[in-house]
Amino acid sequence: MKFDVVSKKVDSVKADALVFPLFEEDKKFENNLKKVDDLLSGELSRIVKSQKFKASEGKILAVPTFGKLKVNYVFIVGLGSKKKFELDILRRISAYTVKKAKELKTSDLVIDIDTDFEGVDIKEAVQALTEGAILGSYNFDKYFSEKDDFKVESISFNTSKNVNKESLKEYIHLGKVLAEAQNFTRDLVNEPANVINTIQFAKIAEDLAREYGFEIKVYDEEEIEKMGMGAYLAVAKGSENPPRFVHLTYRPEKSEGEIVIVGKGLMFDSGGLNIKTGDFMRWMKTDKAGACAVLGVFKAIGELRPNITVHGIVAAAENMPSGKAYRPDDILRAKNGVTIEVGNTDAEGRLTLADALSYASELKPDAIIDMATLTGACVVALGEFTAGVMGNNQKLINEVLKISEKTGEWMWQLPFNDKLREQIKAPHADVYNVGTTRYGGAITAGLFLEKFVDPKIPWVHIDIAGPSHHTSGWYYHPKGATGIPVRTITTFLLKRANYLK
């Protein structure tokens, strides 16, 4: 999809459709929309009135021009109420517009951006509109025998305002990179476990490193054992697919800091000997969503080249039942020496992360962020659309939450406390891998991870079990993998690198 910024009078615009965002409160047409209505002899306003179109969020009125303009359609797209307007609504209406364009076989759109977007800077507006168009047009159709190949080919943003077009193009480029990185992540998460296993995941990481010039080290099971990663190895040994520990590094010439991002990398999770029921084993190909998000973030920073050193860590494994699988009551020793008593083999992701976070802590970065489809308890607590955020540093937590408000990737903090810490005390080892009760399960999982992070290093844990995948989709997320939280984490890195002013 191509994007551009233009300044054209509406009677000279050549496109399949000319798009106008409109608020519910705007009862009378103004500016370019008023000019279009005049050129159509008032037909536009008459149709709006006859259809009782109220410009509620996401509603689209498509009006044919019958040759009176150099465009085939005029789209009026509802922004909803000004009182409820936020940046993410622009992503949503952009996605809805692309879907309507595809429905009407219109491949060339011009979006009027002279609307006052209620305090949203025009640069952020075009970035959000770009992201929404790309994210909303995503479809994982790789394995269909028959495909709908029609696509929206180009979107131009039309403005008569005195703005720096080159600056707008920079933000369009940023939005394009972020959205395409998120779609890249979606593709990886949507692939089944018979296509992406531990070996294939490591190869994809190596290909990414080769493409963008990253450093990479992939450790095999012998090397993993030598590093003392007993928790991670225990999870992996039940599978025929051997574990692979991936360490990617992006190292610019000038660096404003050093961050480690860690992704939970279960290529498939059967539950192990505590095997899941069929309903809960369904979609467990998505248990690699955190790991795939790491690769998505690296794809974005490979394109943008910010001045910050970034490490990406993934302990890739499969959790399968077999004669070699680890068992309930086993006692494991993690890389940092902490011993773990296994209460349930289906609480495996935190065991792989235990060694990954221990390894990350040894790098002595400025901060560690992990992303994991860790607990069903987080979905129960916050629903399917919101990620849970925990950690040992409130300033870092606030930083991530503030960015997520702008990216539209919903997140909410869950509190650590000593009473819940008591629930992961084990009878015969340093820590249990599950809480002694079912209550507060998302938090006890976070508290377990805390044991493997150097307390001097600011750390945030993001439980993406809910929003990483959805069977029907919402807003600009089609059904399947969402790619959350690629845009939030990449934006965090860009801000740390002073890339965004």
Q: Which of 34, 276, 421, 495 is catalytic?
A: 276
340: nearest Cα among 234, 253, 416, 262: 234
Q: What is the DSSP letter of 84?
A: G
Do 302 and 202 form a contact (C-beta atoms < 8 A)? Answer: no
Q: Which amino acid is at 134?
A: I
Residue 427 is encoded by which pair of tokens?
């009878």
Look up 350 and say whether it is catalytic. yes
Residue 297 burial (CB count, 10 A): 30
Question: CA 23 → CA 117, 161, 417, distances in Å?
Answer: 9, 19, 45
- What's the CA gap between 366 and 257, in Å, rounded? 7
> Please, which residues have CB within 8 angstroms of residue 400's CB and are 6 or more apart in sequence?
369, 389, 411, 460, 462, 488, 492
- What's the CA gap between 486 and 491, in Å, rounded? 8
- What's the CA gap between 135 and 113, in Å, rounded? 20
Residue 279 is encoded by which pair of tokens?
């309903």
CB environment 253-288: b (16+ within 10 A), e (fewer): eeebebbbbbbbbbbbbbbbbbbeeeeeeebbbbbb
* Burial (Cβ within 10 Å: 0-12, 13-18, ≥19) of residue 416: middle
Q: Which of 91, 350, 487, 496 is catalytic?
A: 350
* Burial (Cβ within 10 Å: 0-12, 13-18, ≥19) of residue 8: middle
- What's the CA gap between 468 and 484, in Å, rounded? 6
Question: CA 453 → CA 241, 369, 391, 419, distances in Å?
Answer: 28, 11, 10, 20
Residue 234 is encoded by which pair of tokens?
């225990």
Look up 9 and say whether it is catalytic. no
422: nearest Cα among 393, 447, 442, 446: 447
- What's the CA gap between 463 and 237, in Å, rounded? 25
The 71-80 sheet, strands edge to edge: 2-6, 154-158, 108-112, 15-23, 71-80, 60-64
Gyration radius (Cα) of the chain, Å? 25
- What's the CA gap between 342 and 4, in Å, rounded? 56
Residue 445 is encoded by which pair of tokens?
């999982």
* Burial (Cβ within 10 Å: 0-12, 13-18, ≥19) of residue 372: buried
Do 241 and 318 form a contact (C-beta atoms < 8 A)? Answer: yes
- What's the CA gap between 11 and 39, in Å, rounded? 8
Residues tagged active-site? 276, 350
